[in-house]
Amino acid sequence: MDSFVQYAQRIVKAVSEISPFPISLSDEKGYIIGDTNISRIGSLHKPSIEVIQENNAILYDNEKISKMNNVLPGVAVPLTLDYKTVGVLGIIGDPKEVEPYADLIKKYVEMMWNETIRTHIEDLEAKTIETFVQYILLNETVNKERVREYCRMLQIDYSCNRYCILIDIGDSLLENVQDKQQAFLLDSFKKTLLDCVTRAFGQHGSSICAFLNTEKIVLLNTSENENEYLVMMKEFMNKSQQFLQMLTVYHIHQVSIAAGNMCSSIDRLYQSYHEAESLTRFGRKTAISPAVYTYYNWKILLEMLPFRIDSDMHGKLLLRLRPLLDNDAFDELRYNFITYCDNNMNISKAAKALYIHRNTLIYRLKKIDSLTLLNTSCFEHCTLLYLVLKNVS
């Protein structure tokens, strides 16, 4: 009710800007929910009940209102929405002066009221979808019957394949709406961003797009099969860059985008969401640029691989490499070796990248050989050492 009073007051303000007469709005029970004089809001307006019962305009002159409480002279007309009387518009002033304008103001208010109702319903639907998305993505186990009930209510396909796209915009949402009291500005900006996401990544008409919180937007896309999902992943970088370009219009620049793997039903999307979350955290930790992450990207998989060696094996390898790790020159040797690997084990290219003489690099690689008993000219040995050293701080 409180939010609807706010909407009603917005209508009153808008009408007051074009009408020379003060107005009031009453609901179907006769209570004033909007008025040029805000002190009247919440009070019972008995003539409104009479107007609703007769479903016709009634004029109230000074003589008629002399024995009435909380009634001002003017014209009261019923407001109709979808062929049903939903309230009363009161136009305050001399009835003879007001009456010629009554029908015009009534139609304008009904148009705005209809738009307000539509917006109110959309907001309720958006909040319901947000609640649903939070439930399925933030809980490892969910009640399947509850999920099915949500899907029936929201007309969402329960069983189709889906995957989660996670977009983190940081504090951009709140920074763009400085006045936190003006909730309608925040809601409007959220709708704009959701529309941008849907236009950039949405597939079919069954995609679900919602804010998970003020920082994160999720898009739950459908996919007919694995091949369609892979096609989307091939296009993901281009789509993401186009989306990032769209956001610059709204001065949003610090954004990360990640996509999880495909799941067979909507109640399993927890896994896809947390894969996207994991990719985002890893991308930030390793400063991968641009901040667009998927498991389809070889660069990301190669960066992640050293961190996927289980702790037991990693511990054994570190123990075996202890002479290298304890050497005073470890940091320099590690950096030189990784640069050597990143340059395809080419001594000359690596030395140039390190700004050292090739013989200096050869000397340092031989030192690594002697400390580890590995052969840095052997691809397999280099692969093993590279995977371990990439995961050593």
The structure tokens listed for 18 are 């074009």
- Band (pLDDT 50/70/90 cuts) for residue 180 is very low
φ, ψ of residue 210 in degrees (nearest 5): -160, 160
* Cα gap 270→275, rounded to integer Å: 9
**pTM, 2 dp:** 0.71
Q: What letter represents residue 215's amino acid?
A: E
Q: pLDDT by residue (tens digit) across 66-80?
A: 888 888 999 999 998
The per-residue pLDDT for 365 is 96
Burial of 320 (0-12, 13-18, 19+ CB in 10 A): middle
For residue 232, pLDDT beyond 70: yes
The per-residue pLDDT for 228 is 92
Closest CA to 263 of 112, 159, 386, 116: 159
* Cα gap 165→202, rounded to integer Å: 10
Q: pLDDT by residue (tens digit) across 96-116?
A: 999 999 999 999 988 888 887
The per-residue pLDDT for 4 is 58
Q: What letter represents residue 289's amino acid?
A: S
Q: Which residues contact 315 (CB under 8 A, 6 or more apart)?
A: none
Helices (H), the chain: 2-16, 46-54, 62-65, 95-138, 144-154, 172-176, 183-201, 226-248, 269-285, 298-304, 311-320, 322-325, 330-342, 347-354, 358-372, 379-389
Tell me the mean pLDDT in the region 4-28.
Answer: 85
* Cα gap 315→321, rounded to integer Å: 10
Tell me the mean pLDDT in the region 81-86.
Answer: 84
Domain annotation for the chain: domains and CATH numbers: 2-121 (3.30.450.40), 139-304 (3.30.70.270), 309-389 (1.10.10.2840)
Q: What's the mean pLDDT when you consider all of the chain? A: 89
Closest CA to 285 of 390, 166, 212: 390
- Band (pLDDT 50/70/90 cuts) for residue 183 is low
- Band (pLDDT 50/70/90 cuts) for residue 1 is very low
For residue 285, pLDDT beyond 50: yes
* Cα gap 210→194, rounded to integer Å: 7
Q: pLDDT by residue (tens digit) across 113-163?
A: 888 778 878 888 889 999 999 999 999 999 999 999 999 988 999 989 999
For residue 246, pLDDT beyond 80: yes
The per-residue pLDDT for 116 is 78
